[in-house]
Amino acid sequence: MTIDDTDVNDVTRGERALVIGVERHGQTNGRSSEARLDEAAGLAEAIGVEVVARRTYRLRQVRPATLLGSGQVAEIAQLAEEHGAGLAVIDAALTPVQQKSLEEGLKTKVIDRTGLILEIFGERAATAEGRLQVELAHLDYQAGRLVRSWTHLERQRGGFGFLGGPGETQIEADRRMIRDRMARIRRELEQVKRTRTLHRDRRQRAPWPVVALVGYTNAGKSTLFNRLTGEAVVAEDMLFATLDPTMREIRLPGFDKAILSDTVGFVSDLPTQLVAAFRATLEEVASADLLIHVRDISHPDSEAQRADVEAVLEQLGVGREEEGAPPLVEAWNKIDLIEGDDRQALLNEASRRADVLPISAISGEGIDALKAFIAERLRSGSAMHSIRIPISDGGRIAWLHARGEVVGQRMHDGEVEIEVRLSPENWARFQSLVDQSV
């Protein structure tokens, strides 16, 4: 059976693969070579390929045609032959020329880091919006790489098949089809964005604060989400286990209800196509009342991962220094994996910082303290207000009880006078409710 008449995912899953790290002089991205290679292997395994060997190569200079030197290419080709590998995963961004030249030199399929992450997203997107966003990102990435046919464009689900395309055919027709398809997807996503904005506006008027979990992929966001909500969303020890955002209600001290949102994990060198495509989804982060940055504090590259997450948040306009951005605190997760003096040193450091709380989403350690911490932050900067509302206006009375801290109320001739502590954001929201009712 040829690749032409085999389903792409059948070719991809179980493929024997080499993972090749590329270390450029002076560019470490705050990570060790081994840690980067581990992450690249994890990304490859996330789409079901079997990693049979991995190596890191240092580049003295970038070769325009192949990225790697000719001797390195020959060595990788021999490695692929020895291990029977049909795929080489290059942990770097390749130009179309470099990808094609490497495929010819290695006698294997070649995929770069961007293509690999797009392939994962293509498999994992579960909602119609997620699939549209991934397809748009994939088309943008592949627009300059017309070295395979595009028969997979009509597929409804799953990966988008850069691992096993059948060959270079009808390039001009393909380009026209890609442009038309991208235009169609953008129109559909614009409609989705308008709908999402309406839903978000409705939530802003609703009497519940929104807390969004953000963090590096596999940091434990979904496990924490399950712990806080009692839900059972997918929480696996796998990169990008969560792709589509999930929202559930939680109980917090002093709040009748709050909304918790679990979002897609970030990763170093996240493809710009994906940041752009998922901007509408990630706008949920910008509209939250509080961001909880979940960090795998046991990971050797935890600091580098923190920097990567904050860089993506800045791209979304919600970085720490951005005016109007929601406040951000850190949950130092997986503290249960740290022992002895290292654990005590981390606990001491966390105790000195007002924006950090150590937790274990698996064991439950620190979860009650985290809930109290979140509630306290949601009330941060709040001020007391004395508000008179007609007794018949149960909606606004309930809004104040849910969003604020009611410390007293008295009845006055058909009105209730409520003494309530509100954050500046919720006071502004309450004012907009008043304006709408006038």
Per-residue pLDDT averaged across 34-47, rounded?
A: 87
* pLDDT at 348 exceeding the cut of 70: yes
Gap between the Cα atoms of 196 and 280, Å rounded? 8
Q: Per the domain annotation, does 159 fall within a domain?
A: no
Give tens-digit pLDDT for 254-270: 776 788 988 777 888 77
Total length of the chain: 438
221 is in an annotated binding site: yes
Secondary structure of residue 299 in the 3-state scheme: coil
264 is in an annotated binding site: yes
Residues spanned by the domain of 418: 382-436
Domain count, the chain: 4
Residues 258 and 236 both lie in one domain: yes
Q: Per the domain annotation, does 5 fall within a domain?
A: no
Residues 250 and 284 both lie in one domain: yes
Q: How many CA atoms lie within 13 A of 430 on its CB side?
A: 25
95 is in an annotated binding site: no
**Residue 282 structure tokens:** 């990630």
Given a contact cutoff of 8 angstroms between Cβ atoms, the answer to whether 427 and 383 are in contact is: yes
Q: Per the domain annotation, does 177 fall within a domain?
A: yes
| Alpha carbon separation from 102 to 2, 43, 109, 120 (Å, rounded) | 21, 20, 9, 22
Q: Per the domain annotation, does 61 fall within a domain?
A: yes
Residues 104 and 224 both lie in one domain: no
Residues 376 and 387 both lie in one domain: no
354 is in an annotated binding site: no
Residues 392 and 353 both lie in one domain: no
CATH code of 371's domain: 3.40.50.300
Q: Tokens 């696996």 appear where? A: 236
Which of 219-228, 235-244, 250-259, 281-290 is predicted least confidently? 235-244
108 is in an annotated binding site: no
Q: Per the domain annotation, does 11 fall within a domain?
A: no
Nearest in space to 21 (alpha carbons), one of 87, 130, 112: 112
Residues 174 and 312 both lie in one domain: no
Per-residue pLDDT averaged across 362-372, rounded?
A: 93
Can you give the pLDDT at residue 336?
95
Q: Tokens 């500046």 appear where? A: 424
Q: Per the domain annotation, does 334 fall within a domain?
A: yes
Q: Per the domain annotation, does 9 fall within a domain?
A: no
* pLDDT at 230 exceeding the cut of 60: yes
* pLDDT at 241 exceeding the cut of 90: no
Residues 351 and 412 both lie in one domain: no
Nearest in space to 133 (alpha carbons), one of 200, 186, 177, 199: 186
340 is in an annotated binding site: no
pLDDT tier for residue 314 given thresholds of 50, 70 and 90: confident
Q: Long-range contact list for 68-74, CB < 8 A, 24+ apart? A: 68/20, 68/22, 68/102, 73/102, 73/105, 73/106, 74/105
216 is in an annotated binding site: yes
262 is in an annotated binding site: yes
Given a contact cutoff of 8 angstroms between Cβ atoms, the answer to whether 198 and 206 are in contact is: no
Report angle CA 256, 210, 417 to the nearest 5 degrees. 45
Give tens-digit pLDDT for 336-345: 999 999 999 9
**Residue 146 structure tokens:** 């017309």
Amino acid letter, residue 304: A
Give tens-digit pLDDT for 126-181: 677 778 888 888 888 877 676 543 444 444 334 455 454 444 456 677 778 888 88
* Average pLDDT over all residues of the chain: 80
Give tens-digit pLDDT for 299-308: 988 999 999 8
Per-residue pLDDT averaged across 357-384, rounded?
A: 89
Give tens-digit pLDDT for 76-125: 999 999 999 999 999 998 988 999 999 999 999 999 998 888 888 777 77
Query: What radius of gyration do the chain's Cα atoms show?
Result: 25
220 is in an annotated binding site: yes
265 is in an annotated binding site: yes
Give tens-digit pLDDT for 398-433: 888 877 778 888 988 889 999 998 877 678 778 877
* pLDDT at 239 exceeding the cut of 60: no
Domain boundary among 342, 365, 380: 380
